[in-house]
Amino acid sequence: MVRNIVVLGGSSHPELVEQMCIKLGIPPGRITLSKFSVGETRVEIQDSVRGKDVYVIQSGCGKVNDNFIELLITISACKTASAKRVTAVMPLFPYSRQPDIPYNKVGAPLAKAGIQKDSYTFESRPGTPAPQPDGAGSSGPPAGQLEHKLSRLSLDKERGPVTAPGSPSLTSRPSFLRRQHTGSEIVGSTKRDSQKVVYANGTGGDWDQHRQPGYKQWVAQAGTLIADLLTCAGADHIITMDLHDPQYQGFFDIPVDNLYGRPLLQRYIQTKIPDYQSAVIVSPDAGGAKRATAIADALGMDFALIHKERRPTKITDRQNATMMLVGDISGRVAILVDDLADTSNTITRAAKLLKERGGATKVYALLTHGIFSGDAIARINASAIDQVVVTNSVPQNENARACPKLKVLDVSSVFSEAIRRVHHGESISVLFKYD
């Protein structure tokens, strides 16, 4: 039994809280979680936490925003009630998988979009001038260039009215943003034709016409904000598992222990998959290659990779990227390894590729976090995956009933041991062993 400790469970995963308290040998702390009619979160801690070590367990699943606000309020309430230390135990850390580069509707990264040749504006940076031939020492442009510019100016006047000073001309814009002027009405063929800008003086026009040249859309990165909110609420320590990006720990100025689900997955491969050493560990994308190769090296297995290539043309959905298999899995068992599955689009398409083109006899999918939002379970049931193995870092009771392919591994032992060691000031490096 662990003494002088209080474990408070949020509303996201009460089953995991109960299992962890059983292994710690303590009853869960009494807490009332409810909502007012307006939707605001109400938290009432019924046990004394003065001078105690408090652990608040809340996973980033379900109604993520509501659960996160509930966690912040609970941490703040514990600090206000004179708790000695408050640790946020978050099996699935929310907002840790926001994209680094925003994508537009055709799948091309906006940050890497090239400037077209006909998109010259007055704000464009001029290129390095080419070497001038001998005798071209005059300050004015050559006669051929001058005639070309004059002919282009006359062509611009014939095509439409002159735009306001400082704004890009109509003909100088890319072909996919051009408009045809018919009187005072702007006619176009893009999806933004219905978006109009109306100013206070009653004037207006098309959205693209008034947009700043060279503007790139800005997607907020929530990582620093989430870390600051947890710290400002009063969290002294964070315990989580398999961050989507381990570098996320750098956003915090408090200790962050990132536990690994890899030992559980390795143990399952060794004990539940027949003749596992002849199977192949497969990473469904390049981002998870390091995780998959670590398991393959530890178990002495072969490794393969699925490369996703997103091209900026003829792709209406970036999830429909081209997938290519790198490695030989013909006539062998393939084991897909990833940190999480949300819509399950990646792993189901990878399983189809492995069986149809790779010639795999059986496909396993081993995941740490099974979010399974939307129609993910139905997609898995209809896919070529033979078995999906996930942990209970996210509640899986309903998913297990709806998906006979789903197997669930318990992580309560890992988190309860981490809590016990942190409470007693012991090292938790033993939990990072992969053998």
Residue 213 has pLDDT above 70, yes or no: no
- At 179, is the pLDDT very low, low, confident or very high (cuts 50, 70, 90)? very low
- Please state which of the ranges 279-293, 297-311, 362-376 shows the lowest mean pLDDT: 297-311
- At 198, is the pLDDT very low, low, confident or very high (cuts 50, 70, 90)? low
Cα separation, 382 vs 398, whole angstroms: 18
Provide the whole-model pTM: 0.73
Contact 159, 169 (CB under 8 A): no
Chain segment 305-347, per-residue pLDDT in tens: 998 776 554 444 445 568 899 999 999 999 999 999 999 999 9
Contact 95, 222 (CB under 8 A): yes
Chain segment 67-89, per-residue pLDDT in tens: 999 999 999 999 999 999 999 99
Cα separation, 214 vs 124, whole angstroms: 9
Q: What is the structure's pLDDT at 203?
A: 55
Q: State CA 77 to chain mean position distance.
A: 30
Nearest to 227 by CA among 217, 218, 219, 237: 237
Domains of the chain: 5-98+221-258 (3.40.50.2020), 169-215 (no CATH), 262-409 (3.40.50.2020)
- What is the rounded average pLDDT for all residues in the chain? 79
Residue that has been written with the tokens 């800005």 in this structure: 218
Q: What is the structure's pLDDT at 184?
A: 40
Cα separation, 312 vs 421, whole angstroms: 50
Residue 5 has pLDDT above 80, yes or no: yes
Q: How many C-beta atoms lie closer than 10 Å to residue 5's C-beta?
A: 21
- At 212, is the pLDDT very low, low, confident or very high (cuts 50, 70, 90)? low
- At 188, is the pLDDT very low, low, confident or very high (cuts 50, 70, 90)? very low
